[in-house]
Amino acid sequence: MRADGNRQPPDAGSRTEPLYRIGGSPREPRLPVRVVILGATGSIGVQAVDLAVQQPDRLQVVGLAAWSRVDELAALVRRLEAAGAASAPAVAFADPRAVSAAARDPLLGRRLLPPGPEGLDAIAALEGADCVVNGIVGAAGLAPTLAAAAAGRRIALANKESLVVGGGLVREAVLRGGAEIVPVDSEHSALAQCLSGRTAEELERLVLTASGGPFRTWKAAAMAAARKDEVLRHPTWNMGPKITVDSATLMNKGLEVIEAHVLFGVAYRDIEVVVHPGSIVHSLAVFRDGAVVAQLGAPDMRVPLLYALAGERHWPLATERLDLARLGELRFEAPDPERFPCLALARRAGEAGGRAPIILNAANETAVAALLDDRLGFADIAAVIAATLDDLPGGPVGSLAEALETDAAARRAAQRLIAVRARR
Residue 22 in this model has a pLDDT that exceeds 90: no
Please tell me the predicted confidence (pLDDT) of residue 375. 95
| Mean of the per-residue pLDDT values of the chain | 92
Could you give the 3-state DSSP secondary structure of residue 361? helix
| pLDDT of the residue at 127 | 96
29 confidence band (pLDDT: 50, 70, 90):
confident
Angle at the Cα of 136 from the Cα atoms of 154 and 377, rounded to 5 degrees: 145
Three-class DSSP category at 381: helix
What letter does residue 353 receive in the DSSP assignment? Answer: -
CA dihedral 352→357→362→368, nearest 10 degrees, is: 100
What is the rounded distance in angstroms from the CA atom of residue 412 to the CA atom of residue 271? 32
Tell me how far apart the terminal alpha carbons of the chain are, to the nearest angstrom: 25
What band does 107 get if pLDDT is binned at 50, 70 and 90?
Answer: confident
**Rounded to whole angstroms, how far apart are CA atoms 378 and 226?**
7
Contact (CB, 8 A) for 349 and 389: yes
CA angle 17, 21, 27 (to 5 degrees): 160
**What whole-number percentage of the chain has pLDDT above 70?**
95
Domains and CATH numbers, the chain: 33-185 (3.40.50.720), 186-424 (1.10.1740.10)
Q: What percent of the chain has pLDDT over 90?
A: 82
Find the helix packing angle between 251-264 and 342-352, rounded to 10°: 30
> Measured between alpha carbons, how far is 407 from 140 in angstroms, rounded to an integer?
10
- What pLDDT score was predicted for residue 85? 80
The pTM of the full predicted model, rounded to 2 decimals, is 0.92
What confidence category does residue 259 fall into, taking pLDDT thresholds of 50, 70 and 90?
very high
Residue 267 has pLDDT above 70, yes or no: yes
* pLDDT at 12 (0 to 100): 47
What is the mean predicted confidence (pLDDT) over 359-377?
96
Q: Identify any residues that bridge with 66 across adjacent strands, giving them in sequence order.
A: 93
* 307-346 pLDDT per residue, tens: 999 999 999 999 999 999 998 899 999 999 999 999 999 9
Q: What's the pLDDT band for 2 if we cut at 50, 70, 90?
A: very low
Q: What is the pLDDT of residue 4?
A: 39
User: What is the separation of C-alpha 332 from the centre of its chain, rounded to a whole number of angstroms?
Assistant: 24
Could you count the other beta carbons within 10 Å of the beta carbon of residue 103?
A: 12
Question: Rounded CA gap, 123 and 325, in Å?
Answer: 46
Q: Please state, in angstroms and rounded to a whole number, the distance separating the CA atoms of residues 285 and 65.
A: 35
